[in-house]
A and B are shown apart, each in its own frame.
Chain A
Amino acid sequence: MTKVRSHEITPEHIYISRRKFMVGVGALMASTLIPMGCKRKEDGILLPGTDFCEAAQVSRDTDELGVKLTSCQAIINYNNFYEFSEDKEEVASLSRNFKTSPWTIKVGGLVNKPLTLDMDTLLRKYPQEERIYRLRCVEAWSMVVPWVGFSLSKLLKDVEPTSQAKYVRFETLYAPEQMPGQKDKFFDWPYVEGLRLDEAMHNLTILGTGLYGKPLPPQDGAPIRLVVPWKYGFKNIKSIVKIDLVAEMPVSFWMAYAPQEYGFYANVNPDVTHPRWSQSSERRIGEIARIKTLPFNGYADEVASLYSGMDLGKFY
């Protein structure tokens, strides 16, 4: 807990004299109120990554439901990436010098053919394709993102999971010297996420390597991240260095932090409430009015069968 010393509350000038004190009141008021408004992002228009968006390329400008893509600027400047900052608007600048090359990713655990791949090999081995997905954050905002990536199932088939393998465990790079947020002892770093094997093998589940036709910028999880469009955004672990096939359900980063709030499955579900955010409605970034949140984020036809017979209120 931060200690507030008395001089921080009662400005020193008031001890000095009455006249000076009266000036002090004015100064205190000015100093407490004025900065609130102007401290934030004076460069809001000259955002980092302007070049990135100028070169953006997409094949279409809506998803399969006809929903417009979220602007490139919003996608690369509004990021939940606690390894850098808890402030979504700070991530882009703090991650600017994040080293994503060379980058190797280890795939192992309960598999017959473990693999260690560097990014170049991986990109050559698995042809990249565009996937336009809705992204629904647990904080009740959402985006439509034109990812570039490939089905995780292709990689998993190559390593041949053994019959004991039931879950897939993902891990983010741990590098506090590069990722200042990891110095925060509040959390159990590195970030870990998990999927049931059948979820991981589903065709919609991809490893994302780019967006808007370009390689991922650091703030969006470069060089490689998970994208599972029917789950809340936090399942989409970023900057992955390790993928393990395991027998037991992994404990994810957010489950470890607050198990009563964040479950393992984290399927987008308007019927399962959260203590802070509405899960029955959401706001698309770039729009004003709220929209209804769809079960499985609108992918129910494709994925609901994965959970048949399960109580989704219990396995949230």
Chain B
Amino acid sequence: MTRIWQGNAGPVTVVVAAIILIWYVFVVVLNAPWERDQAARAGTEISFIQLVKNTMAQERPVLPAPHQVVAEMWDTTVNKSITSKRSLVYHGWITLSATLLGFVIGTGLGILLAVGIIHNKAMDKSVMPWVIASQTIPILAIAPMIIVVLNAVGLSGLLPKALISTYLSFFPIVVGMVKGLRSPEAIQMDLMHTYNASAAQTFWKLRWPSAMPFLFTSMKVAVAISLVGAIVGELPTGAVAGLGARLLAGSYYGQTIQIWAALFAAAALAATLVAIVGLGQRIVMQRMGGPA
């Protein structure tokens, strides 16, 4: 029993349980005024137990109860066919495909630029400050414009959203990879020199392997942020499809349960993506002979 409390699992469970409990309390507090109002209009008195019961089963609550959200998620994932427009799996897949496409392109471009920066001093001096400065700019604000402008020239659907994800995931990768490719120590570089290794050999046998931890750390940030990019990219197209569209549609029609369900789906998606990258990191690190 004591061993459970040593690790993280025990405390995390307790904290999560506490959050859910607080959530239920807030459900009652926040939804009660509406119930009281309804009772007053009907001219009836409402008992406390009845009040609590009602607050957890409202059609459009101010704050839906956790079990309502879970029920909605279950209903829209398992009970609907995947192709249905009301299925969360369908919307999730649309967001996921844009996220992944953007993430892959962004990672590829980011690595290429990092390689260029490493090997060319002029590029390093001129591009790097701008890459760092661009991190301080709210890039996400451009998202709606990219979508609408690309729509105007006939590009619509997956690609514009993926472009936003590309743009967002690109910067963490560049910064991380430049750091990573520069991480071999001078003594190691000197050893490659004494072997008379060419620049390409130094790159593949020393720089690339030592950049791996940096690459995966940046990829975790990049995949999370490219999901955010895909979701925001779905907002300006008028809520057609995707998790972002579900959020927007829910906010237009006051469907709070739908918003929360989409939010939880997005959270689950983000957690899964980060976990997959983390798993990849573990496998690669193990095969490279590092600590597991």
A pairs with B = no
Residues of A that sit less than 8 Å from B by CB: none
Residues of B that sit less than 8 Å from A by CB: none
